[in-house]
């Protein structure tokens, strides 16, 4: 029916454009015609001018869909990985290792798959895994947490962060994040009806060290501040909390009603002999914190999507109210397998700093003669490279162009910021085998 009408006036001429709508004439839907306006790979839909004039008054359009997340597109990780695939580029954008989880962990997974651990796990997580997590926290952070009421296993850190934000943030509340901020925080805050306040991390004179500006945090706190989200070890800059930062955080928030959400997914990837200073290790911070972590980075298993949230019992109870309706329970055999592996192979995560420091150093050395400016990262498996001496293009355009033209994909930092204060910096994932890193470094060195 629609094509029979042929071309003439486009719907845009009615002064109304959008992507997908249905058109009704009187009470008759136009033969299911879905019309597409301003959508690049679809032709404009059209009505002949005389036909439009005859029926114009009778045209009723559905209102454009009112999105709950109007400013959200597809995540940069999906966009860049897809582009890397399309261009057959080396993918140093999305953060995932090019190596498998340890064989002993895979063996345990296989064991549980074959021995009946295939039905729903308990909602908070299998007891053995919660116990193993509690033991690890006790050893590393000197905090004794209650296995039954203070640890909840979740579907990766992503679900943990989302559930925590839904549980804590109410309509009209304000939430503080520090830019560059991981991309999943703000959409979750928006969906909870909250407002995100972005505070940029301060940058050192050499452009590579990022820190919280305590005065600025203080200045942004008010009686609407419900939550402050911190992420150390920090993605994408590799910043870590220094010895006095936990105390500064405690003092700054002492008279505020705000809770803390701490994203610590890179807790086991901190370099140069520095410890990971978890919010769990600080008495005053622990009382108001939900700490979210993940086994994805720790066990080279980002596809398993097993994370956990540790919080005092009252906060954990609120967290579980949301978690039970977000996902209910988490992959059973993987939970059992990780529980066994954590207990029997603690040396695995203990050697991760050395394991990744070798890759970081290898990648950085290969780039020594390139035109990029860099400082070896202090944590995570991401290295920031400053391309200011090579190009003055924006980071988003350049990340895409270099994916297509030199075959190396990276992540532009500006997408993590409200203001693009981060300048000429790209993030490269070095959780790859040496041959891949050498190939990438060689291409980058030609620039």
Per-residue x/- marks for ligand GLN, 42-61, CB under 6 A?
--------------------
235 binds ligand GLN (CB under 6 A): yes
Contact 90, 409 (CB under 8 A): yes
97 binds ligand GLN (CB under 6 A): no
265 binds ligand PMP (CB under 6 A): yes
Q: Provide CB contacts within 8 A for 4, sequence distance 6+.
A: none
Q: Is the Cβ of residue 276 or residue 373 nearer to ligand PMP in the bound state?
A: 276
**What token pair was written down for 104?**
């002993």
Residues 223-242 that bind ligand PMP (CB under 6 A): 231, 235
CB of 411 to ligand GLN, least distance (A): 7
Q: Which H/E stretch holds residue 91?
A: strand 90-91
d(CA 271, CA 162): 28
Selected from 263, 318, 386, 395, the binder of ligand PMP by CB under 6 A is 263
* Beta strand ranges found along 97-173 (DSSP E): 151-154
Residue with the closest Cβ to ligand PMP? 156
Sheet with 307-310, edge to edge strand ranges? 151-154, 307-310, 289-294, 259-263, 225-230, 174-179, 195-200
Residue 298 touches which of ligand GLN, ligand PMP, none (Cβ within 5-8 Å per kind): none
d(CA 202, CA 212): 6
Q: Is the Cβ of residue 239 or residue 398 nearer to ligand PMP in the bound state?
A: 239
* CA 246 distance to own-chain centroid: 23
DSSP for 232-295, written as a single string: SSPTTT-----TTHHHHHHHHHTT---EEEEE-TTTT-B-TTPPP--GGG-HHHHTTEEEEEEH
d(CA 415, CA 183): 8
296 binds ligand PMP (CB under 6 A): yes
Q: Is the Cβ of residue 245 or residue 264 nearer to ligand PMP in the bound state?
A: 264
158 binds ligand PMP (CB under 6 A): yes
Residue 157 touches which of ligand PMP, ligand GLN, none (Cβ within 5-8 Å per kind): ligand PMP
262 binds ligand PMP (CB under 6 A): no
304 binds ligand PMP (CB under 6 A): no
Residue with the closest Cβ to ligand GLN? 95
Residue 340 touches which of ligand GLN, ligand PMP, none (Cβ within 5-8 Å per kind): none
């Amino acid at each position: 029916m629609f094509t029979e009408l042929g071309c003439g006036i486009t719907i845009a001429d009615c002064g109304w454009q959008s992507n997908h709508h249905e058109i009704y004439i009187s009470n008759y839907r136009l033969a299911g015609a879905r019309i597409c306006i301003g959508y690049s790979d679809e032709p404009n839909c059209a009505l002949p001018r005389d036909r439009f004039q005859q029926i114009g008054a009778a045209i009723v359009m559905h209102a454009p869909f009112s999105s709950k997340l109007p400013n959200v597109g597809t995540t940069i990780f999906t966009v860049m990985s897809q582009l890397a695939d399309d261009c057959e580029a080396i993918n140093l954008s999305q953060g995932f290792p090019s190596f498998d989880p340890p064989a002993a962990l895979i063996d345990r997974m296989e064991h549980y798959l074959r021995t009946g651990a295939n039905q729903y796990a308990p909602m908070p997580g299998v007891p053995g895994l919660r116990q193993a997590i509690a033991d690890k926290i006790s050893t590393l952070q000197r905090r004794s947490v209650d296995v039954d009421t203070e640890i909840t296993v979740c579907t990766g850190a992503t679900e943990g962060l989302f559930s925590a934000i839904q549980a804590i943030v109410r309509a009209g509340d304000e939430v503080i994040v520090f830019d560059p901020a991981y991309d999943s925080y703000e959409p979750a805050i928006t969906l909870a009806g909250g407002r995100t306040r972005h505070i940029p991390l301060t940058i050192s004179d050499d452009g590579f060290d990022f820190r919280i500006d305590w005065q600025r945090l203080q200045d942004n706190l008010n009686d609407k501040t419900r939550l402050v989200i911190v992420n150390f070890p920090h993605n994408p800059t590799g910043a870590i909390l220094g010895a006095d930062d936990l105390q500064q955080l405690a003092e700054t928030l002492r008279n505020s009603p705000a809770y803390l959400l701490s994203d610590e997914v890179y807790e086991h990837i901190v370099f140069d002999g520095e410890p990971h200073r978890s919010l769990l290790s600080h008495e005053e911070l622990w009382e108001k914190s939900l700490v979210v972590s993940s086994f994805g980075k720790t066990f080279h298993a980002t596809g398993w999507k097993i994370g956990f949230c540790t919080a005092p019992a009252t906060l954990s109870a609120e967290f579980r109210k949301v978690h039970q309706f977000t996902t209910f329970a988490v992959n059973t055999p993987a939970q059992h397998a990780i529980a066994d592996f954590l207990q029997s192979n603690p040396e695995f995560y203990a050697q991760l700093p050395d394991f990744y420091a070798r890759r970081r150093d290898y990648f950085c050395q290969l780039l020594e003669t390139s035109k990029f400016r860099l400082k070896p990262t202090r944590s995570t498996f991401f290295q920031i490279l400053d391309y200011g001496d090579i190009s003055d293009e924006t980071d988003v355009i350049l990340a895409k162009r270099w994916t297509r033209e030199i075959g190396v994909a990276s992540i532009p930092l500006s997408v993590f910021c409200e203001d693009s204060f981060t300048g000429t910096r790209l993030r490269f994932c070095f959780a790859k085998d040496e041959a891949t890193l050498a190939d990438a470094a060689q291409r980058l060195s030609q620039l």
